[in-house]
Structure 1
Amino acid sequence: MCTALSIKSDEGKYFFGRNMDLAYTFNQAVMIIPKSFQFKDKVTGNMITNNRAIIGMGTVIDNHPTIADGMNENGLACAGLNFAGYAYWEKEPVEGKTNIGPYDFIQWVLSNHDTIEEVKKDIENIELVDISLNEKTPCPTLHWMISDKTGKSIVVEKTKNKFAFYDNTVGVMTNNPTFDWHLTNLNEYLYLTPNYPNDTKWSDQELTPLGIGAGSLGIPGDFAPASRFVRIAYIRAHMTSVKNDIQAVTQFFHMLDYVKMVKGGVITKDGLEDLTLYSSCMDQQEGIYYYKSYDNNRISAVDMKKEKLEGKELKIFLYPTTQDINYQN
């Protein structure tokens, strides 16, 4: 379970990020992968060289960095969201293709491209292969939302039937089923409005709204992917003006809170509590990664432009797990 989002400020700058909904931690932390950093490709055995500096939330498994969401130094951003039951990976490498594990797809996107058009052009040349990082870490079941700093966005999905990308005309994404289904499903909710409804009359009975918010009566309030997709698409479509970076970041996190998972709301079939482990917001123009965690909802920020963007070593930042309260007396 996850939700991804892209918004635009009044200054024309774009912000991209996501809720990571998960029942467990994965030793996550914000990391910077510099240009020239190298690691071993688990599919081919060759060494991969990072071509662009990347900042994002991820983890390191057997000296192999994997990214859950991030952006590169030129503002291209990507997030992987759960796509269980739909995602399909090839069992063996495909001749004539660039074969990678699905856990390396974000790195491939961000290391080699700056725009959506570049990704669209190259995506037909790659293949995703079911080769795990190690015996304890199976391949993730994912699909991806990618956005550049001009606001163009796509969703990439590989199912058993096809490897496809879709232009993302609503600027949001959740989980199952496929993205085209979610777009069609929005037609069921075209009556929703933030405006106050007019009084009406049924037969001889006068009808009037019972309170503020009646225009959105019927919007789904549960945690299912289809419902979260409707809610985040609705709130994005009716987003009010955000004049500057701080307003944009603040509004972004409020919007993600609208589809946030809270402890006790969802129990997985394994008996675990699903929750929003962290929320992220990336300033694609300035290269700043903002985030907050379930256990510390103060916004933290890492500015990649303040760090060395070329080198051989990862830089990993401390992940806050204790609540930070501003005591005023």
Structure 2
Amino acid sequence: METLHVDLAGRSYPIWIGPGLLEDHARWRALVRGRHVLVVSNTTVAPLYLDRVAKGLDGLHWSSFLLDDGETHKTFANVGKVLEALGALGATRDACVVALGGGVVGDLAGFAAACWMRGIDFIQMPTTLLAMVDSSVGGKTGVNLPVGKNLAGAFHQPRAVVADIDLLHSLPQREYRAGLAEVVKGAAIGDPAFFAWLETHADALAARETAPLIEAIARKCAYKAGVVSRDETEQGERALLNLGHTFGHAIETAGNYSDLLHGEAVAVGMVLAARLSERLGLSAAEDTARLIALLHRLGLPTETSRQYPASQLIELMRLDKKNSAGTLRLILWRGIGKAEIVSGVAEEAVLEVLGAG
């Protein structure tokens, strides 16, 4: 098992990575301060794993709330329902929300925890690779709006992240591969040695071999934990973690969150960011080629199967949270492991990359 820590001003929390962690009740139960616990999960995950968590809640006053599965259910309406469930439970200020699921469950449950009595504890128990390596770490919570992804939310750090890799055995192949996109992203942003390691171990990771999988999760989480520790509320460096996200979120929104999985959209978005970097003279063609080759080996898309109007995508990109003063502010790179924030990107160049030029 690997143990990492996210160290913030005046507080710290662990990330536990390894097998059998849901059943390691003594480890995570010790973080529950009060007697009220609400487990938020979904209709796919709960039948598989809720019983394992329930055994660790014996003696507490707890209940569960289940979402329907899918990104389209990450809404304000469902946050309201979680808050109503907390009310029905009689949850007090020392209550705890347990997020048992993927990124949708973690984001929404964390946001509800941030809202209840202006903030109560929550524990992340990610059940997808994507959530283990990305959304469960760092305290970003929120919901989608019709005009864009994650536009409403709060920074609310968990008490712990419990990443039980045994849960990945039941993960569908497409969901597993989508998580690998976030692993690649971490390496592409700031760790060229990790990127080379991924190229060497791509086949083993695609086959879900345990040792390289634990190492990949730990290296990605360690990188993100360091960034979050230095820039918790995304005033600077943390924005780099959004490489490919401005393009990817626009594609997800255009597809009504039902065309591509989040990780797939990030993979496509990273390629578009690399191509834009190349077009602007920031990076070389061989860097783009290495990225595309690695994504292909991991079974990830590098372009959309559906064509969206470039004008629609650029309009959605204007709503990205990183933008300021009405200009596009994108995360681009100067090659593998050298991402940077680029302000004032000309829309004409973006439209050309999107295929409109």
Larger Rg: 1
Structure with greater strand percent: 1
Name which structure has the greater RCO, CA cutoff 8 Å, separation 6+.
Answer: 1
Note whether the superposition's TM-score is higher than 0.5: no
TM-score, normalization by structure 2: 0.26
Higher helix proportion, which one? Answer: 2
